[in-house]
């Protein structure tokens, strides 16, 4: 017999079971043409060749240091933290940063889990604007039992088939006040900028307002900025980090602002498992260091990442090429959606497009149940895995996220055509 905790750990969410099918039987034009096309996973294979070359070069050039075979500060070797400080000060925060304010963890997911455990006791809440990246609930709740408290964003129609989801401060205040009345304890708010699932960039004044709202209430503000360096070249909204805003506003409560980052997205290194915390909260940093044994990154990997970041020419070239490749597939995907009259959120960054596939169905009064049924039809009949809006806690049914960088565009095109076919016939 196992513990109650083990029962909770083993209770996988529905989307993980579905993703499991797609992972177990992947499509391949030659060897498995009847397999699943997986557009649910947030991966970027587009710049892989550059990484293969760079990593092979580092392996050949950088001597193995026996220090890497020993115990040490799993939360970030000094060379890696210094390299991160350079990257963040020059490209993300645009202000000098102290290497001692970084902690390295085995992925951003693990960093968010640890952050939530440090900010909340069991059953305490972190607010988030929804739709939001579906992994967060797992990060908060699976082991440390913090609660994701959603407040819905509002859908704004733009031109033609284009839409945007905006922060809704009325919804934020309503959910906050109702929750406090119900006795819930709210410790912080987490926002993802640039966004997952939309790939949009929040305007600086929106983030300033959100941070101000949190600080007025003494709440922690967590900014997940793991797509900060995946901005499309033609985006007309500049990305502004929460740290830039903190500096500009000169707020005193620096210990309430935390940044989450990762090598998984901007550097397309999901499998390497390296995430980053930036915070000026000394107690939090110490908690991360003490628990670093559980969330640490292998020193061999830390050396590899530090060597990569130390090469400015490579970093500049890689990021530029990656952003160009991402925009190219985004534009092609949007063109296809327009051809088929599918409404979508116009992305400015990252690796996703959020589309309203259910809009194609002739059915009246579409519900979340319809969204689920269509999702399962896509999976079981069309063998296409996209991520449905309900897992992002979308307040409006019918939306699905697909990843534009996880496979060559011809396969995305084929999968989207199958999605359109199924949605058009859906009753
Ligand atoms: C916004 C966001 N945060 C965190 C993560 C987790 O990233 P990692 O692979 O570093 O754990 C993801 C992964 O998709 C993400 O999109």
Q: Best substitution site from 196, 198, 258 to test ligand 1's pocket, by max atoms within 8 Å of Cβ?
A: 196
Q: Which pLDDT value is given to residue 4?
A: 92
The residues pairing with 388 across neighbouring beta strands, listed in sequence order, are 400
How many A from CA of 310 to the centre of ligand 1?
Answer: 24
pLDDT, mean of residues 35-62: 96
Asked if the model's pLDDT at residue 368 lies above 80, the reply is yes
What is the atom index within ligand 1 of the atom nearest the CA of 227?
1
Q: Which pLDDT value is given to residue 72?
A: 87
How many A from CA of 68 to the centre of ligand 1?
Answer: 26
| In the chain, where the domains are located | 4-48+315-425, 70-311
Tokens 């995430």 found at? 275
Q: Which pLDDT value is given to residue 163?
A: 97
pLDDT, mean of residues 304-308: 98
For 75-109, the pLDDT digits (tens) are 999 999 999 999 999 999 999 999 999 999 999 99
Asked if the model's pLDDT at residue 13 lies above 90, the reply is no
Asked if the model's pLDDT at residue 14 lies above 80, the reply is no
Dist. CA 72–CA 298, nearest whole Å = 10
Asked if the model's pLDDT at residue 416 lies above 80, the reply is yes
Residues with CB under 6 A from ligand 1: 42, 107-109, 133, 135, 192, 196, 224, 226, 262, 264, 270, 275
Tokens 């009064």 found at? 365
How many A from CA of 425 to the centre of ligand 1?
Answer: 34
How many A from CA of 402 to the centre of ligand 1?
Answer: 15
Q: How deeply is 33 buried, as exposed, middle or buried, from its count of CB atoms within 10 A (0-12, 13-18, 19+)?
A: exposed
Highest CATH level, class, for 4-48+315-425: alpha beta
pLDDT, mean of residues 307-317: 98
Q: Which pLDDT value is given to residue 16?
A: 77
CATH of 70-311, one of 3.40.640.10, 1.10.274.30, 3.30.365.10, 3.30.1490.100: 3.40.640.10
Cα-Cα-Cα-Cα dihedral sign, residues 266, 267, 268, 273: negative
In Å, what is the CA distance from 38 to each residue of 41, 365, 382, 410? 7, 29, 11, 13
Asked if the model's pLDDT at residue 134 lies above 90, the reply is yes
Asked if the model's pLDDT at residue 234 lies above 80, the reply is yes
Residues 6+ apart with CB under 8 A from 255: 279, 280, 281, 282, 283, 284
How many A from CA of 362 to the centre of ligand 1?
Answer: 35
What percent of the chain lies above the pLDDT cut of 70?
100
Asked if the model's pLDDT at residue 18 lies above 90, the reply is no
Q: Best substitution site from 126, 226, 273, 305 to test ligand 1's pocket, by max atoms within 8 Å of Cβ?
A: 226
Find the angle CA(194)-CA(267)-CA(116) to the nearest 5 degrees.
Answer: 55
How many A from CA of 113 to the centre of ligand 1?
Answer: 11
Q: Best substitution site from 105, 106, 133 to test ligand 1's pocket, by max atoms within 8 Å of Cβ?
A: 133
Dist. CA 107–CA 250, nearest whole Å = 30
pLDDT, mean of residues 403-426: 97
Dist. CA 39–CA 378, nearest whole Å = 11
Asked if the model's pLDDT at residue 257 lies above 90, the reply is yes
pLDDT, mean of residues 252-265: 98
How many A from CA of 66 to the centre of ligand 1?
Answer: 31
Q: Which pLDDT value is given to residue 17?
A: 78
């Amino acid at each position: 017999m196992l513990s109650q905790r083990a029962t909770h750990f083993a209770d996988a969410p529905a989307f993980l079971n579905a993703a499991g099918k797609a992972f177990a039987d992947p499509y391949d034009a030659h060897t498995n043409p009847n397999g699943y096309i997986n557009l649910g996973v947030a991966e970027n294979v587009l710049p892989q060749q550059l990484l293969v070359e760079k990593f092979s070069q580092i392996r050949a050039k950088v001597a193995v240091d026996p220090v890497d075979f020993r115990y040490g500060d799993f939360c970030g070797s000094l060379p890696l933290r210094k390299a991160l400080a350079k990257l963040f000060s020059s490209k993300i925060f645009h202000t000098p940063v102290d290497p001692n304010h970084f902690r390295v963890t085995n992925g951003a997911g693990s960093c968010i889990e640890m952050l939530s455990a440090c900010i909340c006791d069991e059953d305490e809440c972190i607010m988030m604007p929804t739709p939001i990246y579906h992994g967060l609930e797992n990060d908060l709740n699976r082991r440390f039992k913090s609660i994701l408290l959603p407040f819905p964003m509002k859908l704004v129609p733009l031109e033609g088939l284009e839409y945007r989801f905006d922060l809704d401060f009325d919804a934020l205040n309503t959910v906050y006040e109702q929750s406090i009345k119900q006795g819930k304890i709210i410790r912080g708010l987490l926002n993802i900028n640039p966004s997952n699932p939309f790939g949009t960039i929040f305007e600086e004044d929106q983030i300033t307002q959100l941070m101000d709202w949190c600080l007025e209430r003494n709440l922690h503000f967590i900014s997940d900025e793991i797509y900060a360096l995946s901005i499309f070249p033609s985006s007309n909204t500049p990305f502004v980090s929460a740290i830039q805003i903190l500096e500009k506003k000169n707020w005193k409560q620096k210990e309430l602002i935390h940044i989450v980052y990762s090598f998984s997205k901007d550097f397309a290194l999901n499998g390497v498992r390296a995430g980053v915390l930036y915070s000026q909260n000394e107690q939090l940093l110490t908690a991360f260091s003490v628990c670093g044994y559980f969330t640490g990154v292998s020193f061999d990997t830390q050396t590899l990442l530090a060597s990569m970041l130390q090469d400015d020419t490579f970093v500049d070239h890689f990021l530029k090429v990656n952003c160009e490749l991402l925009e190219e597939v985004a534009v092609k995907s949007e063109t296809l959606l327009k051809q088929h009259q599918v409404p979508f959120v116009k992305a400015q960054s990252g690796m996703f497009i959020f589309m309203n596939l259910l809009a194609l169905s002739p059915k009246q009064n579409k519900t979340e149940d319809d969204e689920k049924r269509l999702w399962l039809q896509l999976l079981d009949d069309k063998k296409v895995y996209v991520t449905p809006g309900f897992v992002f806690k979308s307040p409006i049914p019918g939306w699905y996220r697909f990843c534009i960088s996880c496979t060559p565009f011809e396969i995305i095109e084929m999968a989207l055509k199958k999605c359109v076919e199924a949605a058009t016939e859906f009753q």
